[in-house]
Amino acid sequence: MVLPVLVMFATALVWGLLVVAAQIQCVDAARVGARAAARQDPHDAVVAVAREAAPPGARVVVNREAGQVRVVVVARPPVLHGLPFDLREEAVAAVEETTGAKT
């Protein structure tokens, strides 16, 4: 009786750690994307950089507003994809001003 409960507990603990790791990846991806967008990198480059840091299958949305950029990363929880929630993180950064080409 105790062994199945321990196995279920251990499985839930491992799944919880995987979800936390995926959430941290979403945080990192949103920050990396926001930094790239703030440097005024092209939209495709920002999305590519954010997807590299994001969990597999994550969606990346980049919005440019007056003086700010917002990057939102949304991913499904790992292992149990049928759960009714997504992992979501967003980062906002001020757009950096460009002064021209370097010589």
pLDDT confidence of residue 96: 86
**88, 57 contact by CB (below 8 A):** no
Strand order in the sheet with 68-75: 59-65, 68-75, 87-94
pLDDT confidence of residue 102: 54
Span 31-78, pLDDT tens digits: 999 999 999 899 999 999 999 999 998 999 999 988 899 999 999 887
pLDDT confidence of residue 78: 79
pLDDT confidence of residue 81: 63
- Of 11-25, 51-65, 87-101, the one with minimum mean pLDDT is 87-101
CA dihedral 23, 28, 30, 34 (to 10 degrees): 170
Handedness of CA 61, 32, 68, 98 (dihedral sign): negative
Handedness of CA 72, 82, 84, 24 (dihedral sign): negative
